[in-house]
Amino acid sequence: MNVSVCSRPASRLAAVQALSALLFAALTLPVSTPDRAAVPDWVQLSGLVMLLALYGTALHTWRLVIVGGLRPGSMLHQQIRDDRRLRLAMLSYPALVVLLLPIPSDWTGFWFCLTLASAVSGVVSLVRMSTSRDR
């Protein structure tokens, strides 16, 4: 990864989110396959804990960006983009928790596809970060 990628708080948060999605998928995909009767409770609880932890880290990162303020210069466009991305995360995580809580554990196909999609998005995010110069 580029040094500039890890220098901004929002970029570090994106890397943590991508890596945690990959780790979560590696742990839970084997036990949440569609041929099972139900997804184990520990998978759903660990997913909820992960979402809440990522929400907390996003909130902390957003606080860092807000307290740091917008500094004039060449990085202003990136700072504004980071602020918008973090605001979207602040709205998305609680909505995602509310939407996913009532889904029953016997929808194994849904949980498997959702976990697989999060792993793929984690890989795509890491690839974009490693190939991008200004992110």
Q: What angle do CA 62, 65, 68 make, to 5 degrees?
A: 145
Whole-model pTM over 0.85: no
pLDDT at 4: 47
Q: What is the pLDDT of residue 1?
A: 45
Q: What is the pLDDT of residue 73?
A: 63
Residues of the chain with pLDDT under 70: 1-7, 69-74, 133-135
Query: Considering only CA atoms, which of 38, 85, 104 is closest in space to residue 77?
Result: 85
pLDDT of residue 20: 93
Please tell me the predicted confidence (pLDDT) of residue 24.
93
User: What is residue 18's predicted lDDT score, i.e. its pLDDT?
Assistant: 93
